[in-house]
Amino acid sequence: MSSQLSWSIIKRFSGKNMLGFRSQDVVREFPEKNPVYLASMLAGMVDKGMLCKIARDNYHIIPLNADPETYVPDGLQVAKYLMQNKEYYIGYASAMKIHGITLQSGDREYVVTKKQPKPSIRTFGNITYQFIQHDATRFFGFSSIWINQLEKAMVSDLEKTIVDMATKPALCGGIVEVGNAIFQAQARTDHDKLFYYFARNRNKSAKKRFLFLTDLLDMEWTAEHKRMEAELGSGISLLDPSAPDQGRKRSRFGLKINVDPIQIKQEVLNRKMS
């Protein structure tokens, strides 16, 4: 009976393309069963190599052709499962990978949340998950996007990914990666949406970095770019907040250029995306 129920659980959730689920989901799907018994069943399925436990009350179906001793779900899947029934989106460097605007793979996934989880950094397998809180004014610009052949997750769209990158370059690999992503994405970018997002984001430093990189990389400069430039104000921000506070100031963009712009341009123009 227990073996039959185990496979019923697997079939029920895999049939819904829910490779990850919570114990509460199992109780909801099998209301005729005692919740304590179901919890015991799930623990037994982990021991048998049918499920792997992601976190408390959070499980993932191990494929039949996988080795239970070594199998670890994809990092994006785990990020999604950890945030079930919570407001979130996958962002920053993780969203860059999904949108194909970075060659970096990395061992860290970035998840944006409305409410800061504790702890803010977790590890599962070889992947570290960093949770970044955005207040309501910056929690926008995401939708359900395919992260593999079977599953979707909430991911920042291309334009919001660019805005977030320019706001916090350190979460995207640094200013060179930000410049490369903006350059690689230019043909796919909805610029009306992008400028609307920058206005809604209310971060002048992000605008300054975006405009500087656009100019440096000889990208199209429109009336919207000119309008944004006129609204930058007189303050000075660091081009790359994670680099040393040094370098000359560019009053036009309100930036201290603390990373060699020639190096940025050469690295971006010499890079080929797959």
Q: Among 119-123, 192-196, 208-212, 252-256, which stretch is predicted with the lowest mean pLDDT?
A: 119-123
Tokens of 220: 């199209």
Q: Above pLDDT 70, what percent of the chain?
A: 99
Q: How far apart, in whole angstroms, are the C-alpha atoms of residue 236 and residue 256? A: 6
CA atoms 224, 227, 233, 235: torsion sign: positive
DSSP conformation class of 213: H
Report the pLDDT value the prediction gives residue 273, as an integer from 0 to 100. 57
Residue 51 clears pLDDT 50, i.e. is over it: yes
Strand segments, DSSP code E, in the chain are 20-22, 51-55, 58-61, 88-90, 108-113, 121-124, 127-133, 142-146, 152-156, 237-238, 248-250, 255-257
Same domain, 22 and 79: no
Look up the domain containing 210 and give its range: 75-270
Residue 47 CA to residue 240 CA, distance in Å, equals: 47
Together in a domain, 184 and 261: yes
> What pLDDT, in 10s, does the model give residues 164-212?
999 999 999 999 999 999 999 999 999 999 999 999 999 999 999 999 9
In a domain, 66, yes or no: no
pLDDT by residue (tens digit) across 57-108? 899 999 999 999 989 888 999 999 899 889 999 999 999 999 999 978 778 9
Q: Provide mean pLDDT across the span 235-262.
A: 96
Query: Residue 69: inside a domain, yes or no?
Result: no
In a domain, 123, yes or no: yes
The CB-side HSE value for 103 (13 A sphere, CA atoms) comes to: 11
Tell me the average pLDDT across 128-147. Answer: 96
Give the amino acid at 230: A
Number of domains in the chain: 2
